[in-house]
Structure 1
Amino acid sequence: MIQVTPDIAISEDEIAVAFIRAGGPGGQNVNKVSTAAQLRFDARHSPSLPERVRARLEEIAGARATKDGVIVITASRFRTQEANRKDALARLVALIAEAAARRKFRVPTRPTLGSKKRRLDEKTKRGGLKKTRAGKPDQGE
């Protein structure tokens, strides 16, 4: 079990990791060895996630989520399979933890009468300053 938050843990059986060839620099090693890790996690059908977290996770994942609700994370930062697998897993855990965090409830507020008055006074003052500036220059008449 992979512990994401104190109350959310996902099973290793729900995660599929495949190794693919990584692009970028690395010489002939890149052409021979499949070191990039491609992690797949079926968020939509995961029994470990509450419904609220599941919906938010698909929303946050964006382009990383397929239309079937599978989250695909590709990690190719490191030169070894194990390091890339750990990196992909860490990124998935961070994504789920972000989805599990409750959004802060915003209480709508209104500007005070004093702040409205200060804003309007500042606008009047600024407009007066602009009025004192010279208009168009004379055309040499």
Structure 2
Amino acid sequence: MPIRIPFKVRSPFLSLIANGCTRAFSGRRYAGEEAGIALDWVRKFESRKLGREDVHLEFTRSSGPGGQNVNKVNTKVVIRCPLDSTPWIPVWCRENLRTLPAYVPSSRSIMVTSTRFRSQAQNVEDGLRKLHDTILSCIRGFIVNEPTEEQRQHVRNLEKKGKAKMRIEKERRGNVKSLRSRVRFDD
């Protein structure tokens, strides 16, 4: 099913999305108009709270210290978020999510575990928060913010200073090396 974009498509990236293409954009950075779309999605996703219905939950017994509670109660939560069948994750960011260490290729999902609390309900909330933060940090890492004119000017000034400093250092090293040359006596 093609995704409907309500504005005129100018970029080849956006036209691929508009035409329903699921081509891999591994490690693709988003800049310009694409970054704007990605930032809009990030802002919406920041305010969205993941619920139990958005993911697959599994419960097992935790390991480590904790006495009988650890041995008897399934408090550890394993959260799996399948990338291919999750409608709230856009097609354009799925390939970048596949670069995460939490991605499990065999199930094509992101897997997060939580054993922080003794309570199952608290571990579920903690795991959902971890998943939410993981997705946000991954997508933010691929968004390139355009520098302002002031930042560009600052970089140009730093480059000029660096070149001048390098030139002075090269001249100094050249003088030191020229002093090492053989001394000629004109007799």
Would you say same fold, with TM above 0.5?
yes
Matched letter for residue 96 of structure 2 = R
Corresponding residue of 1:122: 169
Q: Report the CA distance between 1:39 and its aligned residue.
A: 0.7
Corresponding residue of 1:139: none
Matched letter for residue 120 of structure 1 = R
Q: Aligned ranges for residues 18-33 of structure 1 at < 5 Å?
A: 18-33=58-73
Q: Aligned ranges for residues 22-101 of structure 1 at < 5 Å?
A: 22-59=62-99, 61-62=100-101, 64-67=102-105, 68-101=107-140
What TM-score do the two structures reach when normalised by structure 1? 0.70
Corresponding residue of 1:135: none
Q: What 5-or-longer segments of structure 1 have no aligned partner?
A: 133-141
Q: Report the CA distance between 1:42 and its aligned residue.
A: 0.3
Would you say the 8 A contact 1:18–1:38 is kept in 2?
Answer: yes
Tell me the distance in 2 between the aligned counterparts of 1:7 and 1:113. Answer: 41
Q: Report the CA distance between 1:120 and its aligned residue.
A: 3.1
Q: Over aligned residues, Cα RMSD in angstroms?
A: 3.3
Tell me the distance in 1 between the aligned counterparts of 2:69 and 2:159. Answer: 66
Q: Does 1:7 align with 2:37?
A: no
Higher strand fraction (1 or 2): 1
Would you say the 8 A contact 1:57–1:95 is kept in 2?
Answer: no
How has the CA–CA distance of structure 1 residues 90 and 120 changed in structure 2, closer, same or farther, with 3 Å as cutoff? same
